[in-house]
Structure 1
Amino acid sequence: MQKPYLIEFPKLGATNIGYISVGEANGLIPFPIERMFWTYFTPESVVRGRHAHHATEQVLVAVAGRIIVTTEMPDGEVQTFVLESPHVGVYVPPNVWHTMQYSRTAVQLVFASTRYSEQDYIRQYENFRRVWGQVNPNMVAARTDKLFFYSP
């Protein structure tokens, strides 16, 4: 089973003219893109995600602000990714529990391998662990904790 990993997209440009980054399906994004969506104006006290997918692969990008992505593999391995550059994303494979916590200015862009289907979601952590093994007490605590970001 594949693990989540960071993807660094090309960053072309300069500080005096700005930058452009490009991601293409079946290139750095390792799947055909069927859906894109974005989240914004998420309060800092809200933890989003809190689910896994049976089939959907995703790449998450913080196009603005900072997003902390926490993933848990079926074997219980937990990884934390801090996204704070618009040319870096994280690949989240199917069957990986994930949560996201946002800074006040965060805008998240998501590329997904499938169209939306409620049947693809595993929304209860206990059901995720029941399918894949024992409940990880550290992740149970992490899914209820809140990180707060302080912006000047």
Structure 2
Amino acid sequence: MRFMKTKLIDIPKIADPRGHLSVIEKDCIPFAIKRVYYLYDIPSDAYRGGHSHLKQESFVIALSGSFEVIVDDGKNRQKIMLNKPNIGLYIPTGIWREVENFSSGAVCLVLANTEFDESEYIRDYDDFISSKTTQGNS
């Protein structure tokens, strides 16, 4: 599945009678991992995200339960359901993202190519749209 430059990526899965094992290594995702964080115990009506990044690329996985990720490139907007721990959503820089509709027990894992740097976040949607206009991407 493709939207803008985002894409769903299958994570290799090894299945046997004892359960499943998935591994993210080498070329599974298109960047080297510098930070890992996860969201959990999120109320079903909570909203997370609501920002874009100037530098950070992200890979989002529903380790448990489900949630929806809204991605927006300034022209197009799409809602993507994540509900399988062996499928992740790659989000490149310059994409607005929001996360909502968390199921009970949902765990959202995010792998990032940068360490945390508040200065590279765009947290206001109007500023995000303005940055796209400035870049000639609108």
TM-score (norm 2): 0.89
Structure-to-structure mapping, 1:1-150, within 5 angstroms = 3-14=5-16, 16-25=17-26, 27-74=27-74, 76-101=75-100, 102-133=102-133
Counterpart-to-counterpart distance in 1, 2:61 and 2:67 = 8
Give 1:8's aligned amino acid: D
Q: In structure 1, what is the Cα distance between the partners aligned to 2:113 and 2:82?
A: 20
Structure 2 gap ranges (5+): 134-138
1:79 CA displacement? 2.0
The runs of 4+ residues in structure 1 deviating greater than 3 Å are none
Q: Which amino acid aligns with 2:19?
A: G
Question: What's the CA shift for 1:107?
Answer: 0.2
Letter paired with 2:114: T
CA distance in 2, matches of 1:13, 1:97: 35
Q: Deviations over 1:37-78 (max 9, x none)?
A: 01100111111000000010000000000010110013x111
Deviation at 1:28, TM superposition (A): 1.5
Give how far 1:130 is off. Answer: 1.3
Mapped partners of 1:28, 1:70: distance in 2: 23
Amino acid at match of 1:99: E
| CA distance, structure 2, for counterparts of residue 112 and residue 79 of structure 1 | 21
- The one-letter amino acid paired with 1:47 is Y
Count of equivalent residues: 129
In the aligned structure 2, how far is the partner of 1:8 from the partner of 1:132?
A: 30
What SS does structure 2 have at the residue aligned with 1:130? Answer: helix
Cα deviation, residue 7, structure 1:
0.6
For the residue of structure 2 that corresponds to 1:129, the secondary structure is helix
Cα distance, 1:80 vs structure 2: 1.9
SS of 1:42 mapped into structure 2: coil
The alignment partner of 1:45 has SS state of coil
TM-score for both structures, normalised by structure 1:
0.81
3-state DSSP of counterpart to 1:80: strand
% identical equivalent positions: 34
Amino acid at match of 2:87: V
Letter in 1 for 2:83: E
Alignment partner, residue 136 of structure 2 = none
- Letter of the aligned partner of 1:28 in structure 2? C
Distance 1:42 1:78 in 2: 24
Unaligned runs of 5+ in 1: 134-152
